[in-house]
Structure 1
Amino acid sequence: MKKNKMVKLYKKRINTPIGEMLAVATDEAICMLDFVDSKNWLKDQEILVKHYGATQVDEDSLLLSELEKQLREYFAKKRKEFSLPLALVGTSFQEEVWKVLQTIPYGEVRSYKEQATAVGNPKGVRAVANANGKNRISIVIPCHRVIGSDGTLTGYASGIERKQFLLDLERSNV
């Protein structure tokens, strides 16, 4: 749903053990967290600007500072869940897929088929994988917890190495 009034988008670069990330938020919610070397991050920023009719600014915000704090805690194995308001910007199907992602417990994985079944579309494995690939809030919305039915690591827009790192981090802290 497109907003009528102009919204300010704040952005901040955040360093993590697996690369620099760009975070974007409104005054009310986080709307993007992605690695700066991701193939989608520039396009995703454009989508958010268009969706909100917004002007981006390079200033920090309290919400982005809290996100950075929670990410530091996550990578230090002191946080298993994020408690941040999120703004999901996608189709209704994508938003449903992203909500289901948030129900996968820390340290566990699900197959794309299990995720497709959880959204009520057991034959929609490809559609689910595509929606996962459009997730703009990496790590917080844990698409890294979805793997192939045979246990292989597949389909992580920010790279399989990062997916492996995140899964290993979580498994070592369960």
Structure 2
Amino acid sequence: MKNVICIQHYSSPCGTLVLASFADKLCLCDWSNNPLAERNKHRIAEYLQASFKTETSSVLEETKRQLNEYFLCHRKSFDIPLHLIGTDFQQRVW
């Protein structure tokens, strides 16, 4: 069975974000109108050997809740578990 990445859209005051989670961690937060958004999604799916499914997860719901707080100026930092996907160099920088 192929792995599944849960994906949702979030409408923020600054534009629409694409949010995705894998294994109870956020693996994507990108602007939907970003010219590289599709390439970023493809890279993540390939790396995780997974396909996207439009559905929610607990981490996506928590991400949306924290984003809502941020845009209401009630939050200054985030504590979402992240699944960082990148090269060895990118991993060291993050």
1:16 aligns with 2:12: yes
**Equivalent residue for 2:23?**
27
Which protein is richer in helix relative to its size?
1
Aligned residues: 94
- What are the ranges of 5 or more consecutive residues in structure 1 without an aligned counterpart? 99-174
Task: Give yes or no for contact 2:44–2:85 (8 Å, CA) kept in 1.
Answer: yes
Identity %: 28
1:45 aligns with 2:41: yes
Counterpart of 2:62 in structure 1: which amino acid?
E
Task: Give yes or no for contact 2:17–2:29 (8 Å, CA) kept in 1.
Answer: yes
- RCO higher in structure (CA 8 A, sep ≥6): 2
- What are the ranges of 5 or more consecutive residues in structure 2 without an aligned counterpart? none
SS in 2 for 1:86: coil
Q: Distance in 1 between matches of 2:88 and 2:75?
A: 29
Task: Give yes or no for contact 2:9–2:16 (8 Å, CA) kept in 1.
Answer: yes
Q: Distance in 1 between matches of 2:22 and 2:37?
A: 17
Shift of 1:6: 3.6
- Give the TM-score normalised by structure 1: 0.52
- Give the TM-score normalised by structure 2: 0.93
**Equivalent residue for 1:102?**
none
Q: Distance in 1 between matches of 2:47 and 2:74?
A: 34
SS in 1 for 2:46: helix
RMSD: 1.3
**Equivalent residue for 2:67?**
71
**What is the CA deviation profile of residues 52-103 of structure 1, one whole-angstrom value per residue up to 9, with x for unaligned ones?**
11021001111101100000111111111111110111112112222xxxxx
Which runs of at least 4 in structure 1 moved beyond 2 Å after TM superposition?
A: none
SS in 2 for 1:67: helix
Which protein is richer in strand relative to its size?
2
SS in 2 for 1:69: helix
